[in-house]
Amino acid sequence: MKIAVFGGSFNPVHYGHLALAELVQQKLDYDIVIFVPTNKSPLKEAPGGASPEDRLDMLMAALSGNPHFIVDDCEIRRGDLSYTIDTLTDIEYRYQSEHKLALIIGDDHLASFHRWKTPELIAQRAELLVASRNYAQIAEFPYPYRAIENPQWFVSSSQIRDRIAKGADWTHLVPPQVAAIIKDRGLYTNRENSKGGNLSSTLITLIEDTARSWLPSGRFLHSRNVAVLSAQLCRRFHIDERAGYLAGIAHDMCKHLGAERINTLARLDGQPVGPVEAQKPELMHGR
């Protein structure tokens, strides 16, 4: 299996990222592209507005349904600073590819590559695939690399953040499901996310974080999509959007707790347990 690793802040992920990954996967014949969102870059100060969890959720939403794209949250789980050599080592161990890994970087990184942790080891362990971002050629780059013959995509995460902050049009630059998360969470703006109603953002954040910790990533993504759709429907019919969002994000949060715990929690509402539920307690996860 041939694997290309695509690291970055993805703050937010946009169509340019997806087009580049698709080009690498299809034209350069890679089986999968692993997207690795950074936790905190040692060389780049992350702008505010989106947490690592926000960026991870946007990536998962954008890549959902493509069997050749994988999101790996190893750098976020490690915490602290993110170093590429550590990530390559981790991915080599866990994915056991019989081929040398590839690392996708932009040509804007070539000038600072010598400042990365163990750059010579990175160049040995992975084939460098360099995408053009309209930067001047670096004449003295000392390591071998393969240039990706990609078209120029005139879109960047910083441009999207700037457009959102200024109130300019930006939704055409990201997948609809990413736009929904940005709007729903009020990312990259200076204003509080406004859904209306009396439910506090603190409560919603608490429930959402609990659901994220209790659920597998695929199930949590499903719950996020349900929550966004629920809020949209509530807005359409002039119902409390926060309540709709909360119902959506929480509807499956007990699904993977196990039959015994689900049974115990379900009986707390004082409602009788039917014969079918008694035989299959997992059906009560939504009570």
**CATH number of the domain encompassing residue 147:** 3.40.50.620
Can you give the pLDDT of all 287 residues of the chain as single tens digits? 999 999 999 999 999 999 999 999 999 999 999 999 999 876 555 555 788 989 999 999 999 889 999 999 999 999 888 899 999 999 999 999 999 999 999 988 888 899 999 999 999 999 999 998 765 565 578 999 999 989 888 889 999 999 998 889 999 999 999 998 898 888 998 644 444 445 666 778 888 888 888 889 888 888 888 888 888 888 888 888 888 888 999 888 888 888 777 777 776 666 777 788 777 777 777 76
Q: Is residue 9 part of a domain?
A: yes
Domain, as residue range, for 87: 3-157
- Count up the domains in the chain and report the number: 1
Q: Hey, what's the torsion of the CAs at 62, 148, 74, 57, to 10 degrees?
A: -10
Task: Report DSSP letters for 90-133, one per residue.
Answer: HHHHHH--SS-EEEEEEGGGGGGGGGSSSHHHHHHHEEEEEE--
Tell me whether residue 165 is in a domain: no
Residue 269: predicted pLDDT: 64
**229 occurs within a structural domain:** no
Residue type at 176? Answer: P
Q: Using one digit for the tens of pLDDT, what is the confidence trace for 228-270?
A: 888 888 888 888 888 888 899 988 888 888 877 777 777 666 6
Neighbours of 281 (CB within 10 A): 19
Residue 190 within any structural domain of the chain: no
Q: Is the pTM of this model over 0.85?
A: no
Residue 122 in domain: yes
